[in-house]
Amino acid sequence: VNVQGDEPLINPDHVDRAVSVLTETNRENGTTADVGTIAVRFTAEEDVTNPDAVKCVVNVRNEAMYFSRAPIPFKRFGNQDLKPGRARYLRHLGIYAFTRKFLTEKVPQMAPSDL
């Protein structure tokens, strides 16, 4: 489990949730995840435009696809209605859980990339 340095007071339940992602079997294909992380809905009081809050996009299977410090979607010009109730804005909590196999077998096999 990796907790970001600016999250020392993370809720222990969030650690448990990140780890549980690794043990839950995917109903569609019978596999388990190698990496788990947590994103929660923004509350009405939170500022979706705050660059200190990392936003997360998930697919229909609740798998993280994209992270950004800007609102997602981001409208470069014009007025944006960014109230959390208007869209499903998710805030990434800065925690990752990895399987041992992923770290010891899969990561070393990954080719370098521009990302």
Show me where the domains of the chain are located: 2-109
Asked whether 17 and 1 are in contact (CB, 8 A), the reply is no
Sequence-ordered strand ranges (E) for the chain: 2-3, 35-41, 55-58, 64-68, 90-98
CATH of domain 2-109: 3.90.550.10
Q: What are the per-10-residue average pLDDT scores of the chain (115 residues)? A: 82 90 79 90 80 89 89 69 63 92 95 88
What pLDDT was estimated at residue 83? Answer: 55
What pLDDT was estimated at residue 106? Answer: 95
What pLDDT was estimated at residue 63? Answer: 87
Question: What pTM did the predictor assign?
Answer: 0.76
